[in-house]
Each structure stands twice: as C-alpha cells, then as structure tokens.
Chains A and B, each alone.
Chain A
Amino acid sequence: MTTISTPEAAPAGGGTGKVRPFAITLDTASSLANKTGAWRVERPVYRDFLPPCNDACPAGENIQKWLYDAEDGSYERAWRTLMRDNPLPAVMGRVCYHPCQTACNRGKVDEAVGINAVERFLGDEALRRGWQPDPCAPDTGKHVLVVGAGPAGLSAAYQLRRRGHAVTVRDAAPKAGGMMRYGIPAYRLPRDVLDAEITRIEGMGVRFILDSKVDNISSELDSGEFDAVFLAIGAQVGRRTYIPAGEAARILDAVTLLRDVEDDREAGADAADQLMLGRRVVVYGGGNTALDAARTAKRLGAEEAIIVYRRTRDRMPAHDSEVVEALEEGIQMRWLSTVQHADAGQLRIEKMELDETGFPQPTGQFEDLAADSLVLALGQESDLGLVDGVEGLTIEDGVVQVDEQFMTGHPGLFAGGDMVPSQRTVTVGIGHGKQAARAIDAYLRGEVYQHPERHRLADIGAINSWYYSDAPQQVRERLEGARRSQTFDEVVQGLDADDALFEARRCMSCGNCFECDNCFGVCPDNAVIKLEPGKRYAFNYDYCKGCGICVEECPCGAIEMVPEMS
C-alpha cells in the first residue's frame, strides 16, 4: 500500500505502518523543497567590467590585474602580468604621466591609487632580482625591421620577438632609447635604469643596429630581407618659428639642447661649458619639453630660467606635475607673453590677452627682458625623408597616416609613435608599438588582427565605498626643489616594499570581483555559492529571490541585475 499523505487516507496511526504523533498527517520536510527562485523578476549576474585605469592606460596595461597580483606580495607574478603589455615598467614608473591615476575611482573616495609608484617598484624589483621575460614563442621564420629604438620601436620589437619573429631594430643614434635618452633629462630617468630594461629586450634575441640611420625605406622594403617593417622614428626636429633676431642673439632649440646635454654626459664632457647658455635663460614654449629645457638649464648653472608662454597656466600643454616640480625648483613663468624680437642679452616681449575662444591675441604692449640665450620649445616635427616615394603612403600635417591596424597605405609597412597622429608621450609610444606588433603578427600570418570586444566600463556609481578602509595615498619622496636644481640626480624616489604593498592594496578592483565574500554573506536566502579560491562565486537561481542586496553591497560593482526572461 502506498503512502498517501491526506487526512482521509492516513488515519491516526496510519494504515501505512508508519506511526505518526497525534494529529500529525504529513511528514516534515525541509524548506529546500520550496524553490523561491520563482519569485524573481530580475536576476543578479556576475560581470567583469573594464576598470577606468585599464581604460585610460595608453599602453593598454591590465593595471587592475597586476595590482591584484601584487596585493598578496606576488611581485614577480605582477611584473609578468605587466610585462605582457609593457616591456619597460621601471622606465614607465618614472616618466609616465599616469592617466590611469586621473581616471582612478579611488580618487573620488580619498585619493587615487599610486599606480605609477607601484609600477616603478615592480620594475625596480625586477631589475634588482634579475627577473627575465617569459620565453618567446617558437621561431616563426619571419623577419621584421623596426626603424627607431624609441618607446614605440622597442615595444614593437619586444612584442614581435615574444611572438617568435626575428626582429632587427635600426636607430640613427649611438644608443637605443630614442627620446627617453635624448629628450628626457637624467633627473627624471636615470640612464642605468633605461639601459637595463633595453638590455633585457636585447637578451630576448632582438638585434640592434645602432648609428645606422635609415635614409630610404623603399630600398629596405624592396630588399626582400624583411617580411614587414615598422617605422617609429619619432619627432626629433625642433619646430622653428620666425623670430626677428640680431646678429649676436644666442638662440637654440630645446630638443638640440637636451640631446647635447646627453651626448656631453656620455662623452664625459661638461655640458655647461659646451652650451654657453649664460646666466639668464629664457625658454619659449609651454609643453613638457619647455619645462625640461628650463629645468636642465638651471642644472647647467643658469641662475635664472624663465619660461615665456603665450597662454595661461591652465592652458599649458605641459603636465601639471611637471609644472609644479619646475616651480619648486625656482623656474619662473611669464604667462601671456610672446617673444617679439631677440638681441644679444635682451628680448622684447609682447603681452597677450586671451580672446573669447581662448586664443591669445597681441595687445601691442611691449617690455624688455634680459636674457643671455633663448631656447625654443615650440614642438617637434618628424624628419620624414625616408618615406619619400613610398607607394600608397600619405602624409598629413607632417605625420604619416595609418589605419587602425597602424598600417600605412603601403602593405606591410606599419608606423607608430610620434610620427603618426598621437599624443606624443612615452606611454602612447609603448601602446602604439604593442598594437602595431599585434597587427604585424596577424599580417605575417595573412590575417587581420581582431581586437576582442571591449568590456563595458565599470561604473563609479556601482562602487560601494563603505567597505574600503580609508587609506591615504603613499607619497613618493622627492629631493627638495632647492637641493635638486643643482644636480641631475633623480628627483622622485621609489616606494619601499611596505609602502608599495600598501598602495597596491588600496585598489578597489572596480567592476571585477576580488572575492571579499560580501555577496555570499549578505544573501538572506543563501543563494550564493562560494566556489574554490580564485573561482569566485555562482548564484543558485533555484532560491535567489532577486532582492538585489548582493548588487547593492558588492564593494566593487561586479554584480548586475538583469530582467528575467519569461
């Protein structure tokens, strides 16, 4: 006889042989029989969003991932994550203008995470411990020529070599590094750091041919020696403007000044003697190069270095951190001024005013400014002589035009860095090199590189900052302005391991689960399943009622409510 659990069929004591207490007609059971998931109109879903730091990084680094690796002290793993996108972390931790930190959501909670400081720590740690890059892929038999050993060229060479291609890098200068060596002063980027990171790329089997300017790329293309060519010659020529000048006026351009200082340093000569800048140096321009030139002049012994700029400080293209450092070093600024005429020991300055469009207009008011030399820092141009006569290649506004694959109009000829339309920073160059290398790699296999679909951007509104402890940014020590303006010693110091760890742990992991267990803990229905460490969580939709507490209490906004499909 079967058990039928109804009062009629189950008299007290039961005809089933089952004895139940008085007035009890049903077997007790667990509430698990009740699938409350049916109540839902929306369901929570775990997502991976694109964090704002990664989104803002011109080199496309997976910043959040390497911070996550570094958080538990796995510095080598973090460095390897970083190296997938950027072969120069120690350089980057010194010269990058860290747009990631501008974008960092933590900046809206207390202060942005010191991403750049942690990157420098990882880069220095790698050099200290002699970590070597991951082994390259097996040789493909393909050979790529890279012209220019600046950030874009080095980055492309590194990425192509990683993928198993043979790479030859040619550069006109006696040493590799491009503007990192000949444009960025040593007080921002010590040369031993740069050398060490370039040597590491060389150690992977990239061949460098230096002191060897490529004058005509067509012959290289036609030689049949290379399966693809990447041009990254930069913008090395100081832009000139016509300034009426007397016979004896000493005028030089900033790019040449910075390069000469580097050459003299290399040769062991005294740059101050060679350059004869005099006691009062005026730098004309408002970009980072202008600031570097003024700060360098000061270090070469100029008593006064004055920057003359047509617009106001807020319109200066230079990065604010550089402006601040320059002011600390006693560099003077003359805003809303243009150089009208240069004479020996004297400049004539015209005052400007901004019109409603923010463009400076002359006022007709003049004043004189004593100056022993005038340094022009009005931007740079590329010397594009080498691409003359290349079929299909177009030049606009003095830069080579490329498609989204960084390929010029000539098949197999790619270009990147300062010589293509870009922002012209080291990090942008690194990014161009990486993207071009991916495209070249696909091209060599007869394919076209397809970028995987970008994740949606993590939303600051989804961050629940309550769960993050307040933690002020760890500040890197700097030499004091007065002390540093006399020497080329490095201005900014690195973080120690404790501070770097601390800084890495300030990351809020925007938009990507970091296993804080909040969802698992706050679900009133136990509908969150905690998986193995590293595997995150899953929802048990049988019981999830769709209340949304997990979404609300997820610190990093990695859970999203989506409507139930009927």
Chain B
Amino acid sequence: MTTTSTTPTAAPQQSGGRTRFYQVGSFAVGNRLLPEVRSLQSSRERNNTLTSGHRACQGCGEALGARYVLDAATAAAEQAGGSLVTVNATGCLEVFSSPYPESAWRLPWLHSLFGNAPAVATGVAAGLRAKGRDDIRVVAQGGDGGTVDIGFGCLSGMFERGDDVLYVCYDNEAYMNTGVQRSGATPPAARTATTQAVGDAPGNVFGQGKDVPRIAMAHEIPYVATATVADLHDLERKVTHAMGMHGPRYIHVLVPCPLGWGAKSSHTVRIARLAVESGLFPVFEAEYGEVTGVSPIRRQVPVEDYLVLQRRFAHLFRPTRDEQTIGRLQALADRNIRRYGLLGHPEAVPVLNDEATGATSTLGARADLNDAPKED
C-alpha cells in the first residue's frame, strides 16, 4: 500500500529531502517559497465556480467543498481542452446556490429531483456521447441525503452501468436543508431532529447507516476516494486524478455543517481536521475495489477532541460524562485506524498530555485546546 503524503516535493536548490520542513509545508493553501506546491485555490485565476452571494449559512463546509471540487474539476477539464457540466441533487447545495432567478454557479448546471442526480447524469453523459461530444465531462453532486439514502439506487445503477460520470458526495452527515434529520451517513450517538438525545441510548443508533465509499468500492469501479475540506491539497489531487480517468468515479467529501452539528461557524475546517486526526473519518483512495493510498494521521487526537466542539454530541458530556458511548466511538475510530493503517505519518507525533489544560491533544499549539472564543 502506498502512502499519500501531504509533503511537498523537493525544491530544486535543496538537497537531502529536508524541504518538507519548510516554514509551511504544503499544509497551507499557498506558499510563497514553494511555488510548485501551491494549490489551485491559491491562484487569483481560479474559476470560482461557486461565486459570492450564495445563501449558504456562515462557515458552510459544503459551499467550500463544492468550490474546491468544481474549481479543480473545471481546471482539469479545461486543461484537457474541454469543459464541464454538473448535475445537482436536491439539498442545501442546490437550494442555497440557485434561488430563482439567481444562480451562484459559473458553469453549466442542472437540477432535477432529490433522488435522481446519478440517473440524470447518466442521461447527460449518454446525450453527449450520442452527439459525439467527448470534450464535455460530467460531474454529478449531491449531499449525503441525496446520495446515501434517496439517490442510492440510482447511484448504484450508475456504478453498475459504467457511466462516465464523476459523482461527488458532500457529506454533512444529515438532511440539513430540511432541518437536520438523520441520514444513512449520520454517525452513531449524534443528535438530530429525528434522533433526539433522549432515553437510554440518546442520539443516533449504533450499527445502522452505511459506509458508501466502501459500498462504491464493492462495485469495483475505477476510482473511489474520501477527502475533507481540511486537506485541500489532497482533495484537489484526488479530483484531478479522477478527472483523468473514465467510467464511474466516486469522491466522498466530509463537509462539516456548523448549524446542523451545533458548532462555531469558524470551526468548520478545524472540525474536519479533527475528524481525520481522530480516525473517525478515514481518508483514503481506492481503484477497482483496492485501497491504493491513505492519508495517515499526523497528530493523533482522542475522539473526544472532535466530539466536544459539537452540540450534536453535547449529551455525551453534559450533564454527566457518558464514558461508555465515548468509548464506543473511540473504538470505531480505532477500527478505522487499523482497517486503513492510518498511523505512520512522517511527521506523526504521539498523543501527549497537555499539562496546562489536562486535555489530551497534540493538535497545534494551545490554540487548539482553547475552545473559548478568541474575544474572551
């Protein structure tokens, strides 16, 4: 198994492979010292496929993810001398971007129904094929509701038929547009409007829901990948890689939802990072059902560091600490770590106890342990 590393390639004037220690590796969006590792998003010429004025909530992870993905996808299509059309399922992304008669999209964009985006994309791809337009590529996208539950049959059919579509799921782990109802991607113990934090086992049930990236892998399609808005370089690379292939491809992007998760709007990227660093959201890629790369954990944290920032998990800490449920979630994370071999990052550091706070964390300086708002 190869390891996907986020470290930049060696700058020409350097030797000894020490360049990964530069002031900022490629962890940041850009780097004035290392032009060769800048992301597409660092460019003033980026496409801005989702432009300003959309009505997404403050700090929306999905808006961020959609721009990252479609900017990279359009750039890849244009690089190949072609262009891109996108098909959108119903959900937040469609609603906040296209309240009639305005649109925030700056690329050809179709919306039909909640559950049929993969099928519509199939039709678009077929139509283009019939017209002999092999220069136009198709990207279908939807939230976890439209993908994991309602459009699931269509998605599986699209995979089976071998349609030339890249399907991107923006996973914010519930039906946010309609008021935060549980979906098949909602994690166990999370509170939603339909899985209230009441009773013996508050929040969502353990052992239900489904892992669509692995289901997609089971279709043995050319490419399946997971990513988050916290690792832009990784996400852009995966989209570009997927655009270089044909046939059904699937990318599953974790996009935190401040409103639905009960998190600070400023914490969107941080929470996505903690989801990865805790092991709860494994970041990997697979080709034809075989895992070909993982993003190893750089600074491991206990799941608690991720949970504690979100009100949907508040019942695990208040009024009393629910050690058992936190332990079960930690066990899920540990299983992901074992399943994908998520330890062994070149910069990995062991979990440390922070004396100042008593919390266990290595994520950054004390800034990351301090959940108090900055204004305090």
Contacts and interface: CB of A to CB of B under 8 A. Distances in A.
A28 B104 CA distance: 11
Given A28-B102, A461-B366, A552 B42 contact: no
Given A498-B14, A524-B64, A548 B101 contact: no
A505 B32 contact: no
Nearest to A72: B33
Given A36-B52, A36-B53, A30 B104 contact: yes
Interface residues of B, number: 67
Contacts of A466: 27, 273, 299, 363-364, 368
Given A460-B366, A547-B266, A552-B266, A524 B33 contact: no
A465 B23 contact: no
Contact of A549 (B25, B268, B365): B268
Interface in A362-416: none
A31 B50 CA distance: 10
Contacts of A71: 23, 33
A445 interface: no
B31 interface: yes
A523 B267 CA distance: 12
Nearest to B32: A515
B52 to A, nearest CB: 4
B56 interface: yes
Interface string B231-242: 010000000000
A343 interface: no
B208 interface: no
Contacts of A553: 269-270
B44 interface: yes
Interface string A499-533: 00010011111000011111011111111001001
Interface stretch (A120-128, A173-181, A538-546): A538-546
A468 B48 contact: no
Interface in B26-67: 27-33, 38-39, 41-42, 44, 48, 50-56, 58-61, 63-64, 67
A105 B268 contact: no
Nearest to A506: B23
B8 to A, nearest CB: 9
A551 interface: yes
Interface of B: 7, 13-16, 18, 20-25, 27-33, 38-39, 41-42, 44, 48, 50-56, 58-61, 63-64, 67, 97, 100-104, 232, 258, 264-270, 273, 299, 347, 349, 363-368, 370, 374-375
A35 interface: yes
B364 A516 contact: no
A524 B24 contact: no
Nearest to B22: A505
Say what secondary structure dominates the interface of chain A: loop
Contacts of B16: 498
A31 B270 CA distance: 28
Nearest to B60: A524
Nearest to B102: A31
Contacts of A462: 367, 374
Chain B CB count within 10 A is highest, among A28, A31, A522, for: A31
Contacts of B258: 547
Most buried by A among B23, B104, B267, B268: B23
A34 B299 CA distance: 40
Please provide the 8 A-B residue pairs with the shortest distance between their CB atoms, ordered closest to farther. A517-B30, A521-B29, A548-B266, A471-B21, A547-B59, A31-B53, A469-B25, A31-B104
A273 interface: no
A514 B44 CA distance: 17
Contacts of B39: 517, 521
B102 A516 contact: no
A109 B64 contact: no
B101 A26 contact: yes
A549 B270 CA distance: 9
Interface string A536-566: 0000101101111101110101001100000
Given A31-B104, A33-B102, A463 B23 contact: no
A71 B13 CA distance: 13
A508 B21 CA distance: 12
Nearest to B266: A548
Contacts of B21: 469-472, 502, 505-506
A551 B266 contact: yes
Contacts of A73: 13
Contacts of A465: 364-365, 367-368
Contacts of B100: 26
A312 interface: no
Nearest to A532: B44
A453 to B, nearest CB: 22
A31 B33 contact: no
A174 to B, nearest CB: 46
A467 B39 CA distance: 14
B331 to A, nearest CB: 26
Q: State the main secondary structure of chain B at its contact with A.
A: loop
B50 to A, nearest CB: 8
B266 A526 contact: no
A293 B29 CA distance: 53
Nearest to A533: B32
A106 B365 CA distance: 9
Nearest to A545: B58
A129 interface: no
A36 B374 contact: no
A507 B266 contact: no
B370 A516 contact: no
B104 A520 contact: no
Nearest to A553: B269
19 contacts: A26-B100, A28-B102, A28-B103, A30-B104, A34-B55, A461-B366, A466-B364, A466-B368, A469-B20, A470-B21, A505-B22, A517-B39, A518-B30, A522-B269, A526-B48, A526-B51, A542-B52, A548-B266, A555-B24
B241 to A, nearest CB: 20
A29 interface: yes
Contacts of B365: 105, 108-109, 460-461, 463-465
Given A507-B23, A552-B270, A461 B370 contact: yes
Contact of A515 (B30, B61, B366): B30
Contacts of A134: none
A39 interface: yes
Given A507-B23, A548-B59, A463 B52 contact: no
A522 B233 CA distance: 12
Instruction: Identify the interface centre among A472, A507, A546: most chain B CB within 10 Å of its CB.
Output: A546
Contacts of B63: 524-525
Nearest to A109: B365
A516 B30 contact: yes
Contacts of B61: 524
Nearest to B62: A524
Contact of B101 (A29, A505, A521): A29
A548 B264 contact: yes
Contacts of B375: 561
Contacts of A542: 52
B57 to A, nearest CB: 8
B31 A516 contact: yes
Given A71-B33, A502-B18, A507-B23, 9 more contacts: A31-B97, A31-B102, A460-B365, A467-B24, A468-B27, A471-B22, A514-B23, A524-B67, A552-B270
Interface string A173-196: 000000000000000000000000
A267 interface: no
Contacts of A530: 42, 44
B29 A518 contact: yes
A521 B232 contact: yes
Contact of B23 (A35, A508, A557): A508
A314 interface: no
A308 B238 CA distance: 66
A3 B45 CA distance: 36
A33 B104 CA distance: 10
Contact of B52 (A31, A498, A560): A31
A32 interface: yes
Count chain B CB atoms within 10 A of each CB in A27, A108, A555 and give the residue with the most: A555
